[in-house]
Amino acid sequence: MAELLTAAQMRAIEQAAIASGEVTGLELMERAGRGVVEAIFEEWPELAEERGPAPAPPGYLQQEEGAWRAVVLCGPGNNGGDGFVVARLLRARGWAVEVFLYGAPDKLPPDARANYERCCEAGKVQAFAEFEPENWNWQTGEVGEVDLIVDAVFGTGLVRPVGSEIWLHEKIGVLTSGVVNARRVAIDLPSGLCADSGKPLIDTQDEIGRGKLEFELSVSFHREKVGHRISDGPAFCGKTVVKSIGLDDLPSSRAAARELASEIVRLTQPRLLDKAAESHKYTHGHALILSGGSGRTGAARLAARGALRIGAGLVTLGVPPNAQQEVACQITALMLARIDGAEGFAAVLDDTRLNALCLGPGMGIERARDLVPVALAARCATVLDADALTAFAEDPAELFAQLHEACVLTPHGGELARLFPDIAAKLNAPAMTGPAYSKVDATREAAKRAGCVVLFKGADTVIAAPDGCCSVNSAHYERSAPWLATAGSGDVLAGFITGLLARGFAPMQAAETAAWLHVECALEFGPGLIAEDLPEQLPAVFRKLGV
């Protein structure tokens, strides 16, 4: 399963390798720099073509033709060290490279310092203050265009907001405006992006500070960092490529990773979905999904359809009397039960074959307030979504007291804020120190407080269990699914989870697998998707998975 590391975890794994003597920091930095150059040529093969020789520095600004041109911006730590390696390797290929250092050379950490010196042997390194693109006239024809901008200012060591003297988005914006071929690559992370939270650590008090630092490519090492996948990370990174720096081959770093295993966040993967050949419908469980009143039954019907398609043996819609006729006209394979007040619901729940419940979609706040306690008292696997969460906004503690470990809560941002206002406040506060409080931190804290699995929706859905187990279901990069943000999509997701709970999946597995399939269904359908389409893609998705 793909792991996402925090800055501290990455450091621990690297440090273990260096401390063991199996590899030096300098060798790791060389591999990192080589990996970046490799990734650049893989992304933009035209840059690997031979061109004329580089002019003697600093003359290339006056060159119109000739060598490829790069600007490499290096920072005061090891990220800058990687940048010096990249600059040296590009110069060795005949590139004209301008290198700027933010910070004092004699304060660089040892490996970065060594690479600074090697870089200086093949050309000059200028002070960052000299990097004033507004004074460079790139567009007049007197000067050449820049082909590549390499950001090596900060990586995983960013600990406080970036000051205005290095607002790269502003400077790079000036540098690239009107320059069609300026490709932008960030080493490890775009400078200013917090590796753990995917939030920009930029002083947003200022109008300019709110600008976006967007790259086409980010090249990270060993593993993606959590920040590559959540919050603003994907938008800033553009595309993230991970290059090996050999740590998987070292017993020391593997041992360090094993020690951290329980804390490491993973990208969501689906669990086995096959059904046994000799099974019958009750083997796959019976899900009950409660609907709202007349005119508000669509959401529950969507959820029910999702639960059925994902493989629950039977799915019943529990409808209030005034909606019975409306629902009856709309369903075929689904069943219908009349469920009015709390007493009637409790009687229905006496049927022990009902093994998964879903409350919330289109249910109505009042009905949710009446029926959620009944559902939770049955100690059955239960998904609480939408109105079933909002119904407890005034007294979340009342809900937490009733929740049990077979529950799954599926809030979006607004619902999370209603149940966990303090957590939402921390998450939404401007990030001023690194590592900043992240969506992963928020979901883990919410799951711990609720005592059950919490699935916090978004394009970066985070799923956490009370024991800290956590994964990110990322609908970014190659799995980008913007059409999934459509009315009723969340209802289908609730139904998917309920169906998998009915099939006997554990809550965490049900939530992860459902979230993963939900994105796969959107990708399978493509543009034009509406919520009704999602369950109908499951057969094709299952076939591709070999189910």
Q: Around Cβ 393, how many Cβ atoms within 10 Å?
A: 15
Q: Count Cβ neighbours within 10 Å for each residue of 189-219 and write b for 16 or more, e otherwise.
A: bbbbbbbbbbbbbbbeeeeebebebbbebbb
Judged by CB under 6 A, how many residues of this single chain contact ligand NPW?
A: 28
Can you give the length of the chain in residues?
547
Is 320 among the residues that bind ligand NPW (CB under 6 A)?
no
Q: Which of 40, 108, 187, 514 contacts K ion by CB under 5 A? A: 187
Nearer to K ion, 151 or 196 (CB): 151
Tokens found for residue 429: 């506060």
Distance (Å, whole) CA 290 – CA 278: 30
Stretch that binds K ion, among 179-187, 199-207, 315-323, 513-521 (CB under 5 A): 179-187
SS3 34: helix
Contact pattern for K ion over residues 242 through 271, marking x by CB under 5 A: ------------------------------
Is 6 among the residues that bind K ion (CB under 5 A)?
no
Distance (Å, whole) CA 398 – CA 135: 62
Nearer to ligand NPW, 29 or 515 (CB): 29
Measure Cα distances from 226 to 108, 154, 195 in Å: 26, 16, 6
- The site partner of 35 among ligand NPW, K ion, none (C-beta below 5 to 8 Å per kind) is none
Is 154 among the residues that bind ligand NPW (CB under 6 A)?
yes
Nearer to ligand NPW, 103 or 373 (CB): 103
Contact pattern for ligand NPW over residues 59 through 98, marking x by CB under 6 A: ----------------xxxxxxxx----------------
Distance (Å, whole) CA 105 – CA 114: 10
In the complex, the smallest distance separating the C-beta of residue 25 from ligand NPW, rounded to whole angstroms, is 4
Residue 292, marked binder:
no
Longest dimension (CA), the chain: 86
Tokens found for residue 373: 């306690």
Nearer to ligand NPW, 188 or 387 (CB): 188
Report whether 356 contacts 287 (CB < 8 A). yes
Residue 274, marked binder:
no
Hey, which residues between 165 and 194 contact ligand NPW (CB under 6 A)? 187-188
Judged by CB under 5 A, how many residues of this single chain contact K ion?
A: 4
Q: What are phi and psi of 224, to 5 degrees?
A: -65, 155
The residue nearest K ion at its CB is 191
How many H-runs (helices) and E-runs (strands) does the chain carry?
19, 19
Hey, which residues between 139 and 178 contact K ion (CB under 5 A)? 151
Report whether 442 contacts 416 (CB < 8 A). yes
Residue 53, marked binder:
no
Residues found near ligand NPW in the complex (CB under 6 A):
14, 25, 28-29, 32, 75-82, 109, 154-163, 187-188, 221, 245
Q: Which residue ranges are tagged as binding site for AMP?
A: 457-461, 490
